[in-house]
Structure 1
């Protein structure tokens, strides 16, 4: 079953991803950056882009790809508007399935956050943990991390059970324990500000993941800030949030433009 196949919502998925990569390559060439290593796996790295603002807030971005595709370098195109808003941007990479287990993948993100929290230059800052798609799941999963102050989950997946009988599970190999332990919708939310954004032209299944998660949180007495975005699909949502001239980015970040 290909219920979670995002290519169904656009006519040119391959071209969209190539465009992401080309624009991101330009950003890497034009903006100073460096890479940190937080573990022994080759993918346990973090690319750092710093703005000119002293003690700037930090946005840690976790890319998507259904936990089995893509890399952080494909999403560098989100960086310029964040720098202009006055944030330091950290693109956090993680090992993918099936090279590692789903549990190892999730724990790797926590390891990366632990590493960042220990760096003197990033202590006593406001930290925004943000992710798209699988990264939205990982952001929600790690919302309790002590270093994190705000969470922005974009087009995420919060209940893993529906994925078990899809093509995605060939690589994920989700166990019953994975589903219970790593479905954010099955756990109590933190009291930190949590933004849940999704496009109204995304797959019905993905819209349900976001709206259902928000409903569950509200039933528990939490108050996520929900952003259903019109004329927006799983891919355009990134530009609609990060590369627009309106107040979308500042509203989601709840900060003042630098």
Structure 2
């Protein structure tokens, strides 16, 4: 596998602590909140339970009967945020005739990362049961990690992993691990770069896009290129796109524009599965 790292040498805290790296992140996140509130007012979502827990619920922004579906998995290092922050992603996809589902899930330290992955599986399987097809899954940061996991397991037909983390071992040495409580063995076991690579000839397709901001840390750039190169070398249709001038938070900006290349790509992938 390409992209091997020396786990003893880099300053992983500065590389992975994105809130510290981007001092104006609160202003960007406030825009997420404001666009989400506007979207929920204009397009009230249908709330669907995928389990019995308080946070085991997803919002469906419905583009109409038979519309293709995409699932967005939010970030927050599996320890922050929920579905209500990201409703603003719905209008651009609705403009393409694509329904959007955004789930919440439990957060660390109340639960472990493996538990969160099980909840994401339940979300995807609930959507598959409703639609009869493997959906497109896209996600940001920790959500990019989980989108790749769903693709590796064959539950999704395509994944768009935005600023994803595919090798979790570097996080063990950072303050982010206070809530996650991962040791190196568990971190490796939960890293999709070490998981089985899906068969690129699977009916319905298997496509991985890794998208990352050009202003992100060298580690985030390395992670996306490593994952893309590894899967592409093993027969999966995989590509990496670096978006110039965008950091770990502003990398979501294109998802709020219906005519952006990222939204157009997600919509096309969703239509291909319908």
Tell me the TM-score normalized by structure 1.
0.90
Q: CA deviation at 1:236?
A: 1.7
1:62/1:130 contact within 8 Å kept: yes
Alignment: residue pair count: 253
1:164/1:174 contact within 8 Å kept: yes
1: CA distance, partners of 2:53 / 2:188: 26
> Please, which of 88, 91, 103 is the counterpart of residue 102 of structure 2?
91
1:103/1:178 contact within 8 Å kept: no
Tell me the TM-score normalized by structure 2.
0.85
Residues 1:242 and 1:127: Cα distance change in structure 2 (over 3 Å): farther
> Please, which of 79, 85, 89 is the counterpart of residue 90 of structure 2?
79
Deviations 1:46-78 (A, max 9, x none): 1010113x4111000000000101111111111
Q: CA deviation at 1:242?
A: 3.9
1:102/1:173 contact within 8 Å kept: no
> Please, which of 190, 211, 214 is the counterpart of residue 225 of structure 2?
211
Note the residue ranges of structure 2 that are not aligned, 5 or more in a row: 1-12, 201-205
Partner of 1:123: 132
Note the residue ranges of structure 1 that are not aligned, 5 or more in a row: none
1: CA distance, partners of 2:136 / 2:244: 24
Is 1:151–2:169 an aligned residue pair? Answer: no
Deviations 1:181-234 (A, max 9, x none): 210111232220111111111122211111121222233343412111112111
1:195/1:252 contact within 8 Å kept: no
Partner of 2:120: 109
2: CA distance, partners of 1:56 / 1:188: 31
Residues 1:23 and 1:252: Cα distance change in structure 2 (over 3 Å): closer
Please provide the CA RMSD for this pair.
2.0
Secondary structure of the equivalent of 2:173? coil
